[in-house]
Chains A and B, each alone.
Chain A
Amino acid sequence: MTDKPKIGVYICHCGINIASTVDVETVEEYALKLPNVEVARTYSYMCSDPGQALIKEDIKEQGLNRIVVASCSPRMHETTFRKAIQETGLNPYFLEMANIREQCSWVHEETEEATAKAKKLITASVAKVRLLEALESKEVDAEPAALVIGAGIAGIQAALDIADAGFKTYLVEKTPSVGGRMAQLDKTFPTLDCSACILTPKMVDCASHPNIELLSYSEVEEINGFIGNFDIKVRKKARYVDFDKCTGCGDCAKECRVADRFPSEFDQGMGNRSAIYLPFPQAVPAKYTIDPENCLYLKRGKCGKDPKCQEVCGAGAIDFDQQDEFVEFKVGAIIVATGFDPFNPSRKPEYGYDDYPNVITGMEMERLVSASGPTGGKVLINNGEEEIEPKEVAFIKCVGSRDESVGNEYCSRVCCMYTAKQAHLIREKLPDANIRIYYMDVRAFGKGYEEFYDRVRRENVRYIRGNPSEIFKRGNKLIVKAENTLTSTPVEDEVDLVVLGVGLEPRAEMREIMDLLRLSQSGDRFFLEAHPKLRPVDTATEGVYLAGCCQGPKDIPDTVAQAKGAASSAMIPLARGKVTIDAQVAEVNEATCRGCGFCVEICPYTAIEMVTVNRFGHEIEVARVNEALCKGCGSCSAACLSDSVQPKSFRDRQILPQIAALGVIK
């Protein structure tokens, strides 16, 4: 810097947050004596308008060129003060924040000590601020298109919103049809809307929307780039059916040599499908798909004399030579809506899910009561001997949720309500059945939920407080063994059907998405949002947003709300058409870089790559930072043995004097 530093120090009271522990007046006096400090002031709320005005006036009138704000964490208000400084024409990066709240007043009780520490922190900031360099943030164009991964209700809603706003949207779904878990549900709590009836119009919309390109039966293979400029590569898996020719008539599935032999994924294995199939009648797109695992012709190269499907298909749509195809495109934002896996109750062997056919999961129950399900909506269950209409039904809640023994400490948030809903549906279909629900707690927190829970209880559904310890068979009945913890009495109930209220778990394949997008997991293993309260749909990777159960268990209203939130966040860069790239990024000193690539390996944002440069006639490899991807975290700097890569504003020559000022080193 050529100008002599003229530093202003602004000490915030933060109401009493700081001022009650730190003697701000003494600190102000002290700060004035520090080298190059021209102005020192205190104010009750520095972040308020009048507080910021103080700083701005001093810059204009006293010609300050460096600002130290002693207040809260820079995570809180660094941007606020940078903007204020920028308004005066000073470079916004000539700011240093001394955190005298979180790191001082909040953690100390004695005024004397806290004041002494505040002085030290300010001394250190003053020592650093004079060494800061002017940085310029850059703007790059953003591609006005979005990618949505997963076409359950979250992905569908997000895609529809973005497309309605006029942006091109690519909706990628792994399975042959959109719809996700919601398509499998019978009725939805607490209003008892038919799930398919409210979902199907949206499914159809997203297939016919002019701005949505639906890539069903497809998977994202590669994602490169950064917010505003992601390069995407998608694998469209071979359906072995010509997409344009198939009319969805279904003759092929009827005539298939192995018709109705394989458990239907959609019916949770309670019904069967053929090797060529449509997942469910309302599937979108209504195109058949051959399952290569089970198709005789694809597996063995032979299916009778000629494959039946080929024979009967009037449209000539069967194409056994079809290959996977790759589609590449560019988007500015990505929404991850990959959903959840239902908890697999085999991991709770005491409930006998693997042993007894009449112990089923909530998802299976959905199919069982559904009019489009394998029994046509009749509650019929095989008790191991015969198919019966159950007279005694037991529900068990919190299976795989709130259970440390399976590693899930969280509440799955939907089981209380779907159990209540299923109890109601059974009551409708079997007015005389005895229905018991074993529970730990009932959490009916949403709009209309408590009312629905009361309604179900009035319908003669018995809630028994106690988690069953065991389920076993006696005669042709199942025995549910539990303790009623309200009456402290052991119970052994004879039942015909047990429904396990299984919880929601992160998807088994979520690691692939994590690797593609460099996302993190929270303690419950779901995707981690950028901030649990204030940035619930953002992620640490800019331009990537979360919707639905991939971020944590949610019911449908919350999922839709979050999907709309994610869509509106994703539309910010798309609508602006530009993204701002923070200037506080790492920089490589190519003259000293030895080209080992440790920084490339360690960078959590894949922001560093090796490039070949010409050094006095020799071709050498050095690291180079992609400023659009870099977050300035400094991991590279820690890994670099020759100290050749450092984040701007956190260079050794800037932070060592700061540390020295604390009196730690010489």
Chain B
Amino acid sequence: MELEKLRETAAEIAARDDVKYLIGWKKGSYGYRVAPAFAEDAEGASDFIFSPLCTANLATYLTLVEKLPLPRGQEPDKRKVALMVKGCDSRAVTQLLVEKGIHREEVIIIGCPCPGMVDPDLLNKKYPETEETAELKWDNDGFVIVRDGEETKVPREELLDEKCQLCRYPNPVVSDIMLDDPVKAWEPVEDEGVKEIEEKAVEGRWDYWQQEFSNCIRCYSCRNVCPLCYCQDCILDRQNPDWVYRSVNFSENTAFNIARAFHLAGRCIECGECERVCPANIPLGKINRKLAREVRDKYGFEPGLDPDAEPFQASYKPDDPEDFIL
């Protein structure tokens, strides 16, 4: 994608009268960092980028906005929010449309066909970042790392993020403007993470998750970053009734994580943000992908593809399989 074209389009949209702001990515404060950016005018969009480090799913900002009480007589700001999306991000937007979390006329969707993101941890381990000018680009068949003006070519497989290896929708499924021609979708690899757990006996799975959930510090980063966890008043925060106690222990951690996973069944669009932000490195993607797979195999349903679809958790067919009901 031409950086110039991106910035030109971004500036044009951010400058529009009917646009409140444009959400995109820009280079972060140091090293490989990329930060979400909000441009309220053309000037603000002048440093927007799209690179293999733009992993963050910006759709979460659509529902994160706090609607503060307005002084009497003041009209709410009804201008649109513009948003840059990759394939996975666009599915989050679509799912939000299905759930009426946002309305179509409230957003402008700028599609970024995505050749795949890098795994930031892997990248840092193999090619430690330097303070100033570290950044990444796509090359024909891989990535190019730029550190202190020096370019290193790396094959795609070496650094491609796990969620991108599994990706089946690299191109935005919904958009108003596309910044580039669609990329050719690739053959997704087998989901080794889910397979590994499926191969375990029930006790083995329990032991595995006991180990993982014991590390959870209940910081709720997973919930806060998730574009589809947007209840203003989350039941897991409530005290009357107290569904999940605040104590950080295996029992309550498990209750929290399982409740979240079930709330996302048939809704999770596998953007992998929960796992990426988890400070305890809990492989949350495995639970969500497992449930997504169950929903896909048993009900033939995939969330975030059709804005007019019936929400999975609220739909019912007389011949739904019930073989998992004891």
Contacts and interface: CB of A to CB of B under 8 A. Distances in A.
Given A639-B314, A642-B235, A594 B230 contact: yes
A591 B69 CA distance: 13
Nearest to B233: A592
B29 interface: no
A140 interface: no
Given A616-B70, A617-B70, A617-B76, A642 B314 contact: no
Contacts of A653: 240-241
B233 A642 contact: yes
B100 A639 contact: no
Interface residues of A, number: 27
B67 A602 contact: no
Contacts of B67: 615-616, 618, 620
Most B CB within 10 A of own CB, among A596, A616, A618 = A596
Given A639-B314, A652-B241, A617 B233 contact: no
B269 to A, nearest CB: 15
A404 interface: no
Contacts of B314: 597-602, 639
Given A616-B67, A618-B70, A618-B76, A591 B310 contact: no
Contacts of A617: 69-72, 74-76
Interface string B206-247: 000000000000000000000000111111001011000000
A656 interface: yes
B76 A597 contact: no
Interface string B44-69: 00000000000000000000000111
B230 A643 contact: no
B315 A601 contact: yes
Nearest to B238: A643
A601 B311 contact: yes
A643 B76 CA distance: 27
A346 B8 CA distance: 69
B99 A597 contact: yes
Interface string A599-639: 11110000000100001111111000000000000000001
A620 B231 CA distance: 13
A577 interface: no
A561 B192 CA distance: 66
Nearest to B318: A521
Contacts of A597: 99-100, 311, 314
B70 A596 contact: no
B99 A596 contact: yes
B101 interface: yes
B324 interface: no
B233 A596 contact: no
B69 to A, nearest CB: 3
A595 interface: yes
A641 interface: yes
Nearest to B264: A641
Given A596-B100, A596-B311, A618-B70, A641 B76 contact: no
Nearest to A615: B67
Contacts of B240: 653
Nearest to A592: B233
Interface in A9-67: none
B82 to A, nearest CB: 20
A653 B242 CA distance: 9
Given A618-B67, A642-B231, A598 B76 contact: no
A615 to B, nearest CB: 7
B313 interface: yes
B231 A639 contact: no
A158 to B, nearest CB: 29
B70 A595 contact: no
Nearest to B74: A617
Interface in A580-597: 591-592, 594-597
B195 interface: no
A449 B241 CA distance: 64
Contacts of A610: 100
A591 B233 contact: yes
A457 B70 CA distance: 88
Contacts of A643: 235, 238
B137 interface: no
B231 A592 contact: yes
Q: Which of A616, A621, A656 has the most CB of B within 10 A?
A: A616
Nearest to A666: B245
B263 interface: yes
A639 B99 CA distance: 13
Nearest to A620: B67
A126 to B, nearest CB: 18
Interface string B61-105: 000000111111011100000000000000000000001110000
Nearest to B63: A594
A616 B241 CA distance: 27
A641 B232 CA distance: 11
Contacts of B311: 596-598, 601
Q: Choose among A610, A617, A653 the residue with the greatest number of B CB atoms under 10 Å from its CB.
A: A617
Interface string B257-279: 00000010000000000000000
A597 B100 CA distance: 7
A639 B313 contact: yes
B241 A656 contact: yes
A653 B235 CA distance: 13
B222 to A, nearest CB: 16
Contacts of A591: 233
Given A602-B314, A639-B314, A656-B241, A594 B70 contact: no
Interface in A633-662: 639, 641-644, 652-653, 656
Interface in B129-163: none
Nearest to A594: B231
Nearest to A520: B318
A602 B316 contact: yes
B241 A642 contact: no
The residue in A618, A619, A653 that gathers the most chain B C-beta atoms within 10 A of its C-beta is A618
Contacts of A642: 231-235
Given A591-B233, A641-B263, A598 B69 contact: no
A594 B101 contact: yes
B241 A594 contact: no
Contacts of A601: 310-311, 314-315
A601 B100 CA distance: 12
A601 B67 CA distance: 26
Contact of A592 (B74, B76, B100, B232): B232
A351 to B, nearest CB: 30
A45 B67 CA distance: 58
Given A601-B315, A615-B67, A616-B67, A595 B100 contact: yes
Contacts of A639: 313-314
Contacts of B68: 616
A600 B99 CA distance: 11
A577 B310 CA distance: 39
Given A598-B313, A616-B67, A620-B67, 7 more contacts: A594-B232, A598-B311, A601-B310, A602-B314, A602-B316, A618-B76, A639-B314
Interface of A: 591-592, 594-602, 610, 615-621, 639, 641-644, 652-653, 656
Interface of B: 67-72, 74-76, 99-101, 230-235, 238, 240-241, 263, 310-311, 313-316
**Considering the complex of A and B, which 7 residue pairs feature the smallest CB-CB distances, nearest first?**
A617-B70, A616-B69, A601-B314, A598-B314, A642-B231, A592-B233, A596-B99
12 contacts: A601-B315, A602-B315, A610-B100, A617-B72, A617-B75, A620-B67, A641-B231, A642-B231, A642-B232, A643-B235, A643-B238, A656-B241
